Structure 1
Amino acid sequence: MLQALWSASSGMLGQQLAMDSIANNLANVNTTGYKKSRVEFQDLLYSEMRAPGKKTLRGEIIPTGFQTGNGVRPAGTPVIFGQGIIQQTDNPLDLAIEGNAFFAVRRPDGSLAYTRDGSFKLDAKGTLVTADGSKVLDENLNPLTFDSPQSLKIDNAGAILEQQAVGRIPGFVFEAADKLEKVEDGYFRPTRESGKALPAEQNNKEGRDLYFQVLLPDGKVAYTKETQVSVDKNGRLITEKGYPIVPEVYLRLADGSVTLDKEGNLTAAVQVGKLRLVKFVNPAGLNKIGSNMYAESVNSGAATVAGPADYTLRSSALEGSNVEVAEEMVNMIIANRAYELSSRSIRTSDEMLGMANQLLKR
């Protein structure tokens, strides 16, 4: 009878720990990048009064044993790394991970940590940091610092792009631009009345509109004021209609985007760094250290660089918690009822002991 008291008390303790885990999950339902956990249980050693298969004095074999349990114990609180809901934001420094990866950060004490929380900010020095000031690291484990963070962009692979000047296209002016011959919409050729094309650097003191040379499909040169440009599959700069700029310009761009202004200045997204994203063989073995961070452990395995197939980054977005409120409420009811039944077992055992005690008094 006394064993029932200890078994029931271990059940109450186990359900109390389960309730602690459920409460923590619900408390973090709005925590960015939070991953829920659950309590796993194991039964304790058994008191064996008769082993199964034992022979009686008459030589008969007992088909079943006689064992009584000693209760339950918590075996662990594994983290469930299911994908959280991606929520769009208006902050270009917000990043959400889809897939199996973590951001690498350097904590204020110098130690490495890992997080799924991509709500990054810039400090006074232009360094990319987390909410608690930990520095976000690049692929070489160095802090990411930027001179002009206003033009930053981060692509789906974690490459950090910055708009920079990459060149200049020579512009031309005409004495009488209204006398140009129209070849097609937006494209012209000089005439005797318009005069020859003059280099703008030496002949544009009046601030006239600049024209740029392009090569038409017939092999002849034409002039346009069009500034909508891009690069073809070979990296050659072309207009919106696909006509190459003259002289030919070839660019190797991080994301293929390039801008040409009316003065002939070319700006493009240039890669200035790359976020370090890592993965683990057993992410459930990571140590939770607070502030939405994890630390590497022996059971998690060493951090390795995550490849393009492991993740996709979403810029101007955050990953929400993967806690399902309805599921946690059901688990709470189950834990409450199990706790209640364990306490009832203690009360019933106590009543039975009281009855035995009354018999002894007689």
Structure 2
Amino acid sequence: MKALYIAATGMNAQQTRVEVISNNLANMGTTGYNTRRAEFSDLLYQQVKQPGTINASDGTVLPTGIQIGLGVRTAAVSVELAQGGLTQSGGDLDIAIDGNGFLEVALADGTAGFTRDGSLKRSAEGVIVTSDGYALQPEIVIPDDASRISINSEGEIFAYFRDRTEPEELGQIELATFPNAKGLEAIGGNLFLESNASGPPINATPGLDGLGTIRQGYLEGSSVDAVREITELIEAQRGYELNSKVMTAADQMMSATSQVR
């Protein structure tokens, strides 16, 4: 009986949906996290009678035909690139991207990684790095005797010194954007990698070419909407229960059939 297998695909789909929702809720407090959404598509259809078939009895054309679906599958888990709320932190190296764009960092193997997590730090060598120690690109070094750091909305970084009146410009923060940012490969640690689906990065100065601006002393929060996630969780749970009831009904029908004498 096909209903058993069709209901099983529905249960698997709802389980995937619950897992994605669970990940969203777990990352409610993750800096720069973007909500994920599970997307589904129907499976192949068994063509009992194709639409437009000629009716053998009287020669009329069937307007709809008979097509029996074989269930559902997970098509994708996509990222919703929504702006998270900005929270004031007060840190000199805490920055938030107000708008589009990603910060570029150099991973341990030299690969370029991309993130919206602006909770930056200063390494022992004075290099500006992420919380995991990956250097911001292009690399910027803060002098040991710098007393204060200032970052303007265009990403220019200035260092102030106790024995000088004028600040020293240290470098320029650049932002990267992609033809299809949803195609980036997530690798954890608030990091993404370029993929064939995303296209190559396009680097530019913050505030130009549709890119966002830099807000020093702020961090971008998660874009997860807890109320929406709980609503979808309830919906997924009910969908799972309904599919399990279909399996129960199909099992009872098979049992009744096997008992026919």
Counterpart-to-counterpart distance in 1, 2:62 and 2:137: 66
How is 1:1-362 mapped onto 2 (pairs within 5 angstroms)?
A: 2-57=1-56, 58-138=58-138, 143-147=139-143, 148-163=145-160, 267-307=165-205, 308-309=207-208, 310-359=211-260, 362=261
Post-superposition Cα deviations, 1:75-111, rounded to whole Å, max 9, x if no partner, equal: 0011001000000012111000011111010112221
TM-score (normalizing by structure 2) = 0.95
Give the aligned partner of residue 257 of structure 1: none
**Offset at 1:336?**
0.4
Post-superposition Cα deviations, 1:55-91, rounded to whole Å, max 9, x if no partner, equal: 1222122122101100000000110010000000121
Post-superposition Cα deviations, 1:120-139, rounded to whole Å, max 9, x if no partner, equal: 1111111111111111112x
**Offset at 1:52?**
1.2
Counterpart-to-counterpart distance in 1, 2:121 and 2:198: 28
User: SS of the residue aligned with 1:77?
Assistant: strand
Q: Is the 8 A contact 1:286 1:300 kept in 2?
A: yes
Counterpart-to-counterpart distance in 1, 2:242 and 2:200: 43
**Structure-2 change in CA distance of 1:69 and 1:326 (3 Å):** same
Counterpart-to-counterpart distance in 2, 1:342 and 1:350: 12
Give the percent of matched residue pairs that are identical in Structure 1 and Structure 2. Answer: 39
Q: Is the 8 A contact 2:32 2:220 kept in 1?
A: yes
Number of matched residues?
256
1:322 maps to a residue whose letter is: S
Give the aligned partner of residue 187 of structure 1: none
Structure 1 residue runs without a partner (length 5+): 166-264
Counterpart-to-counterpart distance in 2, 1:285 and 1:150: 41
Q: Is the 8 A contact 1:101 1:306 kept in 2?
A: no
1:55 maps to a residue whose letter is: I
User: SS of the residue aligned with 1:48?
Assistant: strand
Counterpart-to-counterpart distance in 1, 2:170 and 2:105: 18
**Structure-2 change in CA distance of 1:149 and 1:34 (3 Å):** farther
Q: Please provide the CA RMSD for this pair.
A: 1.4
Give the aligned partner of residue 237 of structure 1: none
Counterpart-to-counterpart distance in 2, 1:69 and 1:311: 45
Structure 2 residue runs without a partner (length 5+): none
2:147 maps to a residue whose letter is: Q
TM-score (normalizing by structure 1) = 0.69
User: SS of the residue aligned with 1:81?
Assistant: coil
The structure with more radius of gyration: 1
Post-superposition Cα deviations, 1:142-189, rounded to whole Å, max 9, x if no partner, equal: x22111343221111111112269xxxxxxxxxxxxxxxxxxxxxxxx
